[in-house]
């Protein structure tokens, strides 16, 4: 008879305040045989606070590929394993994808234990339209990749969220202010659920001023949310745009021409119609 496989639990832990952990998370962390933690030095504080005595093993971004192999062996031998990150829900800009993917291939049960996540926590107090939103995590270090994502955030028209460290928050806000429409509102959340929890609201430049005048400076961890905004820039209508609309207008029924023109030129159909009938 085949040995019973273990279960892999993806356990959310507090993003700051150690009391923000669920009873179920504590129960599971006590029951599993091994807990893979991003930083055992940080996780031991949580374990001590809630009298959890399970064995901790290190599992961070530099070791996750190698450690995943050993953890899969333990799971195949019937051991139950939990994975936790330093804060919040594992795999959200944190290690874990290699282990989860290996577990899926091996037919191992994977059970999420939901709880805190800084993404939803920050969005919930933003006051912005969050029916749809984009999550970018930490922006890449490479200049071209970083600039491309900032450009996408500043032109998407959809509420967007990124993580940033205190060392780079000033540069990020400066780069955003150069590309973003001046009136667009943003929220910067610092150290959520911790002692120095603070929220800064306004335009990018206004938030920079608030941070500069803060007694805490740029210390801590930050979540930056750019609110949804109208992305259509309808002031101008270039000769090339007019040429494209003339071709569409002459080749297609009016409704289809306006629909396709809106997609190609990234402008509203009403605007294109007014430009066309006014011969502008």
Q: If you average pLDDT over residues 257-274, what whole number do you get?
A: 84
Query: Which distant-in-sequence residues (6+ apart) come within 8 Å of 213 by Cβ?
Result: none
Per-residue pLDDT, averaged over 187-202, amounts to 96
Q: What is the pLDDT of residues 217-264, one digit of tens each?
A: 888 899 999 999 876 444 567 777 888 888 898 899 988 989 898 888
Q: Mind listing the pLDDT tens digit for each residue in 124-174?
A: 999 999 999 999 999 999 999 999 999 999 988 899 999 999 999 999 999
Residue 234's pLDDT is 47
CA-CA distance, 114 to 179, in Å (whole number)?
A: 36
- The partner residues of 188 in beta bridges, in order of sequence, read 200, 224
Confidence of residue 1 (pLDDT cuts 50, 70, 90): very low
Position of tokens 């006051």?
127
Phi, then psi, of 185 in degrees rounded to 5 = -90, 145
**What is the model's pTM?**
0.80
């Amino acid at each position: 008879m085949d040995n019973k496989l273990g279960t892999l639990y993806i356990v959310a832990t507090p993003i700051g305040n150690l009391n923000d952990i669920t009873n179920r998370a504590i129960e599971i962390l006590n029951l599993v045989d091994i807990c893979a933690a991003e930083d055992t030095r940080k996780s031991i504080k949580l374990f001590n606070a809630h009298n959890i005595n399970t064995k901790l093993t290190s599992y961070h971004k530099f070791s996750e590929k190698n450690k995943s192999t050993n953890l899969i062996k333990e799971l195949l031998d019937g051991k139950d394993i939990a994975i936790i990150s330093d804060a919040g829900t594992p795999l959200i800009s944190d290690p874990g994808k290699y282990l989860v993917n290996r577990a899926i291939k091996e037919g191992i049960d994977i059970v999420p234990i939901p709880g805190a996540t800084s993404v939803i926590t920050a969005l919930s107090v933003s006051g912005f339209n969050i029916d749809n939103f984009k999550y970018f995590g930490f922006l890449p270090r490479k200049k071209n990749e970083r600039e491309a994502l900032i450009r996408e955030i500043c032109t998407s028209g959809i509420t967007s969220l990124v993580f940033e460290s205190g060392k780079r928050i000033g540069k990020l806000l400066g780069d955003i202010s150069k590309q973003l429409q001046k009136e667009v509102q943003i929220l910067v959340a610092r150290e959520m659920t911790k002692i120095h929890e603070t929220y800064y609201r306004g335009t990018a430049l206004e938030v920079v001023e608030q941070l500069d005048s803060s007694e805490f400076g740029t210390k801590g961890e930050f979540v930056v949310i750019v609110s949804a905004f109208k992305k259509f820039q309808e002031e101008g209508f270039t000769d090339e745009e007019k040429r494209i609309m003339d071709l569409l207008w002459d080749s297609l029924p009016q409704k289809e021409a306006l629909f396709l023109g809106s997609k190609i030129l990234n402008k509203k159909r009403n605007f294109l119609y007014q430009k066309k009938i006014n011969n502008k």
